[in-house]
Structure 1
Amino acid sequence: MRQMKDVRGLKKRLEGVCGLPSFRQQLLHDGAVLDDETKLARLELPVDLQLVLLSFGSVSQKQRNEFSFAVARGRTSEVQRMLQSPQDPDLADEAGETPLLVATKHGHAEVALLLLEAGADVNLPNRRGWTALTRSSAEGRVDFVRLLLEAGADTECAGGESNEAAALFQAVQHGHVGVVRLLLGSRANVALRSKSDGQTPLTRASLSGHTEIACLLLKSRAEVDAADDCGATALMFASSRGNADIVSLLLEARAGKDMVTTRGTLFLSNKIGQTALIQASYAGRLEVVRLLLRSRADTKMMNCLGESALSCATQQGQTSVVQLLRASNAP
């Protein structure tokens, strides 16, 4: 006890003994409850203290909403008072939002810390399957992501029917480089696939044009040729969108130049058998076509309609691409 300054510090030490957070502990001295701020130096040592472990009481929906309101407004002292009643830090409001999610949404880090200290489940999702880490990743809140990861947040935790609620998918989708870097540093799964379309973080980054993120994913050993449910790869998406920098990265990582789609997808002209070169030629992506030709992409390949890169470029009136393909002896 001599190493601890106050009752709060003693309760923190007792958490490892009783298994309950300090908010669910009461320390009594001569029958009187000691405040957390009580200095231990004021007590004559040695001293007998009684530890009382508190259970959560019943809480009405109105009280839940009041708690959520205090969290949303960042009223730290009010939240602390409610937690000391004690109140379950995981009780959701009428919208199904947990207090930790609400604190994350409104950017109240001090309140989030209080909730975590009170034993809030860092991985508890809302009705959409989103966790606090998902939301902070989607919104690019680097400080919150770091806080939640340190609290043991699961980078793959995602409820509902789609795992796109996973933190890495959201950070990639919204182009938050700093968050992606933190998640990868915590060994987030780069091979995670969307249940809705089979896309990986790398294919999503390539589709969205996030070059630095694509580079980070490749450095974290993301599979360069991972195809989605339609057989589309990162190289196809980057080529279609004309993202030459990403195309260069993927080619340096030895992406398959002549892979083909197995089903139609709106992102790639909705045709089976599309290659990166055919799609880039169709869309008039001159610089990408040049990169693919330098990498010896097969100009003879055709899609399900018998269309080659040259015929697609010709049909779409992509004059510069047509000239480049003809100069490369494309049939």
Structure 2
Amino acid sequence: MRLPLAALMLTLLTSLAAHAETTAMDTRLLSAAQRGDAPAIRQLLAEGAHADARDDQGQTALLVATHGNHVDAAKALIEAGADVNAKDNIHDSPYLFAGARGLNDILRLTLEHGADLRSTNRYGGTALIPAAERGHVETVQTLIDAGVDVNHLNRLHWTALLEAVILGDGGPRHVEIVRRLLAAGADPQITDKEGVTALEHARQRGYRAMQALLER
């Protein structure tokens, strides 16, 4: 039996109103995540906002909170089921971004809630590779301990070890990262696309402390 036109219109309008209300809540959730307002996030989630609401760049509320290193906001979203591996339009996820930027509190939360250790960024690298490049010693150790492949090759054919030498500054933090990567099983014989090893790159740059580690 067909519904009268008026009933159909009422159903449609009700559905549209519900959708608009949900969309408005999701927008408010994204704004609260940007501010790092954990109480507002919890309230909006309780009212029906989607934990994985996205903005026009494909960023989830959790990724927005991660960008600001808002730990409490990130925790509220993660505990509500937000996906720590959800990628935006440029293939960043909360897990990958936290690892790359050395945001260790959020990184640990993502690792505790299902971070995909094999997940890769737009350069084909794991979280460990940019962490090594940027000199985030604690982050590198956290990712090593979590089980990230220390010999993964990105699209440039660089491992974390190669990247720490090639893009690092040769200073104490990068030297320590090279030491920890080698201790974790990083293979110093892996070369870049031109067949150059980490040791040869260290020699070319005059990074003597790295050179000494790699020569062992």
Structure 2 unaligned blocks of 5 or more? 1-17
The alignment partner of 1:189 has SS state of coil
Q: Which amino acid aligns with 2:157?
A: G
- Alignment of 1:185 with 2:158, yes or no, is no
Cα distance in 2 for residues equivalent to 1:78 and 1:250:
51
Check whether the contact 1:74–1:108 (CA below 8 A) recurs between aligned residues: yes
Shift in Å, 1:115: 0.9
- Stretches of structure 1 that go unaligned for 5 or more consecutive residues are 1-56, 253-331
Measure how far apart 1:63 and its partner are.
4.2
Query: Displacement, 1:105?
Result: 1.3
- Residue of 78, 81, 94 corresponding to 2:40: 78
* Superposition misfits of 4+ residues, deviation over 4 angstroms: 59-63
In the aligned structure 1, how far is the partner of 2:139 from the partner of 2:195?
28
Segment of structure 1 superposing worse, 91-100 or 243-252: 91-100
Q: How big is each residue's C-alpha offset from its partner over 1:26-70, in whole Å with a ceiling of 9 and x where there is no partner? A: xxxxxxxxxxxxxxxxxxxxxxxxxxxxxxx63565543322111
Q: What fraction of aligned residue pairs are identical, expressed as a percent?
A: 32
Correspondence list, 1:121-270, <5 A: 121-160=83-122, 162-164=123-125, 166-195=126-155, 197-207=156-166, 208=168, 209=170, 210-252=174-216
Residues 189-231 of structure 1: CA distance to partner in whole angstroms, max 9, x if unpaired? 1111111x20111111122221100111100111111011111
Tell me the distance in 2 between the aligned counterparts of 1:113 and 1:142: 13
CA distance, structure 2, for counterparts of residue 168 and residue 98 of structure 1: 22
Shift of 1:159: 4.8
Tell which has more relative contact order, 1 or 2 (C-alpha 8 A, sep 6+).
Answer: 2
SS of 2:52 mapped into structure 1: coil
Number of residue equivalences: 193
What TM-score comes out, normalization by structure 2 length? Answer: 0.83
Q: 2:30 & 2:162 partners in 1: Cα distance?
A: 38
TM-score of the two chains, using structure 1 as the length reference: 0.56
Write the letter of the residue equivalent to 1:176: H
Distance in 2 (alpha carbons) for counterparts of 1:87 and 1:225? 50
What letter matches 2:190 in structure 1? A
User: What letter is aligned with 1:168?
Assistant: L
Alpha-carbon distance in structure 1 between the residues aligned to 2:32 and 2:179:
41
Q: Deviation of residue 239 (structure 1)?
A: 0.8
